[in-house]
Amino acid sequence: MKLADEYIDDKLAQPFTLDANDFIYQRSASRGYNPTPGLGNVKAAVLAINAADDERYPPETGLMERAMPLVRNGRLLLIPASEDTCGHGTNGLARFYKRELHELLRTAPRRVGE
């Protein structure tokens, strides 16, 4: 607990450099975006990765489970929540999906001569 408090105190002591309007724009930029109509046109092999504890794209919404069957060569990997995962940040930790990504790259069809 002491370490966590020190971490928060340190973060709060640092200058805040984000522009509030930029932050709001980033959060709302995709609000009305709906990729569903074009998912059937995706030809590439796709490995969609999400974490069970993702706070930005919570799997409880079911969006990915409904969308991925529309992608011909698509697959969803849902990383189970654990003490080692960190919500949305888990997507940046390749150790959670290294094996699946390696398999995708090994088996994905190659396009030659376009």
More confident residue, 78 or 12: 78
What domain range includes position 92? Answer: 2-31+42-107
Residue 114 lies in a domain: no
pLDDT attached to residue 114: 57
Residue 63 lies in a domain: yes
Please tell me the distance from the alpha carbon of residue 70 to that of residue 39, in angstroms, as a whole number: 6
pLDDT attached to residue 10: 85
Q: 54, exposed or middle or buried, with CB in 10 Å at 0-12, 13-18, 19+?
A: buried
Residue 100 lies in a domain: yes
Residue 113 lies in a domain: no
Residue 36 lies in a domain: no
**Taking 60 as the threshold, does the pLDDT of residue 66 lie above it?**
yes
* Total number of domains in the chain: 1
**Taking 70 as the threshold, does the pLDDT of residue 105 lie above it?**
yes
Residue 98 CB-half CA count within 13 A: 4
As a whole-number percent, the residues of the chain with pLDDT over 70 amount to 98
